[in-house]
């Protein structure tokens, strides 16, 4: 497997802020990917997912001020 590019916590937080309803699912998916990599002996990849899971609280906190930015709809009157 190839090494994934490093993504900062602030970038991850901004991405997560755009989909707050998927926060728990994304975290669970990262944990599952870590588990699969660990079982397959893919230590380098497992480390990446482990770092993501252990940084999760920081990522969520960083993304919180960003919030979800949506365009206000117009009323058709």
More confident residue, 25 or 63: 25
Read off the pLDDT of residues 3-61 as tens digits, 9 standing for 90 and up.
555 668 888 899 989 998 999 999 999 999 999 999 999 999 999 999 999 999 999 99
What's the whole-model pTM score? 0.69
- Closest by CA to 2, choosing from 36, 33, 48, is 48
Q: State the number of CA atoms in the 13 A half-sphere of 64 facing the CB.
A: 7
Please list, in sequence order, all residues whose beta carbon lies within 8 angstroms of the beta carbon of residue 34, skipping any fewer than 6 positions away. Answer: 46, 49, 50, 52, 53
Q: Which residue has the higher pLDDT, 31 or 74?
A: 31
Instruction: Show the tokens assigned to 9.
Output: 């916590």
**Between 66 and 19, the higher pLDDT residue:** 19
- Write out the H or E segment, with its range, that includes residue 1: none
pLDDT, tens only, 32-42: 999 999 999 99
């Amino acid at each position: 497997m190839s090494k994934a590019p490093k993504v900062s916590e602030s970038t991850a937080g901004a991405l997560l802020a755009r989909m707050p309803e998927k926060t728990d699912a994304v975290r669970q998916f990262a944990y599952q990917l870590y588990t699969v990599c660990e079982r397959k002996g893919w230590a380098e990849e497992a480390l990446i997912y482990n770092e993501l899971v252990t940084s999760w609280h920081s990522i969520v906190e960083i993304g919180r001020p960003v919030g979800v930015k949506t365009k206000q709809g117009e009323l058709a009157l």
